[in-house]
Amino acid sequence: MPNTTPTHNFRQILGINFFNGNASQAAGLLQHGGLLVVPAAPALKNLPWDTEYREALLSADVVITDSALMVMLWNLLERDTLRRLSGLEYIRELLRSQDFCREAFWIMASSTSAARNISWMREQGLEVGNDSYYVAPVYHRPVEDRELLARLRERQPKHIVVTIGGGTQEVLGLYLKQHLSYPAAIHCIGAAIAFLSGDQVRIPVWADRLYLGWAFRCLASPRRYVPRYWDARHLMPLLTKYRDRLPEVMRSLEAQKADA
């Protein structure tokens, strides 16, 4: 996909080329297809150990700055003015277009999520066909889904929206990009649509702009999200050490114990 955006609209952080712009500009970069990912801090901290996730981020055409922790720490370390672009802001931009909604195929995390998300979109007057979504199975590494691939090859939707968990959806997105025979725009947005539909806690625009989405999730489901976001603190020493450089590949403690 040709890149006509000025180079100053990107920042290399942890070896990943992050887009520094608004939602409309980011969506515009996928006019001719490509892979967009929205990495959050809990997954970003795994760059040295999760090689498939690492490859997916390196192979993406657009990587947006969803992680508030990463943006704040980067700006502090580098005295920069990196702009945060959340997955929630990005999906709001996409849903403003009826053409997008008519041409999109959704990969949902569960049948319950699919029902709530589609119902909400239809309540907003957005067109979503009964055959325009797919309920994803539980993926294991390496990620592969021949049934999904067959459906996409048959339908050839212009937009594919992946709404499953971070760390896995990016790997699935790269798998689809590598195996589809046409230039689809693949948007890996995670739970962003769920924040609008009520499938997860609703996050107001003001809270998202103030970097408080994580707090809403923690208050709504503390047992699930407090450990996750607490674990994300490991991104801080990683970013402090490597800054713009790609972290070296390390072996997990589990792998080391298995070989011991």
Over residues 75-119, the pLDDT tens digits come to: 999 999 999 999 999 999 999 988 898 899 999 999 999 999 999
Does 192 reside within a domain? yes
Q: Are 152 and 105 in contact (CB under 8 A)?
A: yes
Read off the pLDDT of residues 131-186 as tens digits, 9 standing for 90 and up: 899 999 999 999 999 999 999 999 999 999 999 988 999 999 999 999 999 999 99
- Condensed to tens digits (0 to 9), the pLDDT of residues 119-129 reads 999 999 988 88
pLDDT at 2 over 50: no
Phi then psi for residue 138, to 5 deg, are -80, 115
Cβ atoms within 10 A of the Cβ of 22, count?
16
- Cβ-based neighbours of 242, under 8 Å, separated by 6 or more: 14, 15
pLDDT of residue 252: 56
- Is residue 1 assigned to a domain? no
Assigned token pair, 251:
């072996």
156 located within any domain: yes
| pLDDT the model gives residue 253 | 44
| Neighbour-count burial for 150-187, b at 16+ CB within 10 Å, e otherwise | eebeeeebbbbbbbbbbbbbbbbbbbbbeebeeebbbb
Query: How long, in residues, is the chain?
Result: 260
Asked whether residue 2 is assigned to any structural domain, the reply reads no
Strand partners, 10: 19
Number of domains in the chain: 1
- CA dist 139 and 153 (Å) reads 20
Distance between CA atoms of 246 and 54, rounded to whole angstroms? 9
pLDDT at residue number 8: 54
Would you say residue 6 has pLDDT above 70? no
Q: Which domain range does residue 114 map to?
A: 7-259
Collapse the DSSP code of 135 into the 3-class scheme (helix H, G, I; strand E, B; otherwise coil) and give the result: strand
**pLDDT bracket for residue 72 (50, 70, 90):** very high
Sole residue written with tokens 């909400």:
120
* Helix, strand, coil % in the chain, rounded to nearest 5: 50, 10, 40
CB 16 within 8 A of CB 58: yes
Mean pLDDT, the chain, rounded, equals 91
Tell me, yes or no, whether 186 lies in a domain: yes
The neighbour count for residue 198, using CB atoms within 10 Å, is: 12
Q: Could you tell me if residue 55 is inside a domain?
A: yes
Residue 258: CA atoms inside 13 Å, Cβ hemisphere, count? 5
